[in-house]
Chains A and B, each alone.
Chain A
Amino acid sequence: EAGVTQFPSHSVIEKGQTVTLRCDPISGHDNLYWYRRVMGKEIKFLLHFVKESKQDESGMPNNRFLAERTGGTYSTLKVQPAELEDSGVYFCASSQLFRNTEAFFGQGTRLTVV
């Protein structure tokens, strides 16, 4: 069974550009989470989807970040326009709807804004 897959693994963009990160959760996992780790800091929650609905987006830093999960399958996280402080590693995780004791993480997308 495939795990959580994230694309790209690494992205380098210039300040002001747009970047879209993609996450493919484990098949059948209705819960999908986005987290972020900036340099030297802890991993922080961004938002939580249940199927295609945003359950909790309290961790989204500002309106330059837009997350979508059309059809309740894969999810995208768009940053527009990117700023230097957006650099970090973006993790996606997924879990089953009712057996959510374990969230499975992807390998992360390392975003560098220059």
Chain B
Amino acid sequence: QKEVEQDPGPLSVPEGAIVSLNCTYSNSAFQYFMWYRQYSRKGPELLMYTYSSGNKEDGRFTAQVDKSSKYISLFIRDSQPSDSATYLCAMSPSRGAQKLVFGQGTRLTINP
């Protein structure tokens, strides 16, 4: 069983829709949760990170962590074609970006 499960998609939605991306994990030692965005032929780029359960908002993006259910989500409001990319969840047992454990990534397409 993988430590982090993420549906690879692909996911295709119309412009302006609310997008929900999710990951589940099995290791209760994870305490640092991140979402990365990766455009084709580029490296992953950090979108958001959080240390604890709850919500964190940054512009059109909201990250949600439920440690009791071992479930994290990323919501994108008012989605734009420029949001089309692969979204990767990543986690670490340490309080920082060390030895990240990644999900497989969800390929997202926003259609104009």
Contacts and interface: CB of A to CB of B under 8 A. Distances in A.
Contact of A44 (B6, B32, B102): B102
A102 B46 contact: yes
Contact of B97 (A4, A43, A102, A106): A102
Nearest to B99: A45
A8 B39 CA distance: 19
Interface residues of A, number: 25
A74 interface: no
A26 B67 CA distance: 33
A103 B49 contact: no
Contact of B103 (A33, A42, A59, A101): A42
15 contacts: A33-B99, A42-B4, A42-B102, A43-B100, A43-B105, A44-B102, A45-B99, A48-B98, A56-B99, A59-B99, A91-B44, A95-B96, A100-B96, A102-B97, A106-B43
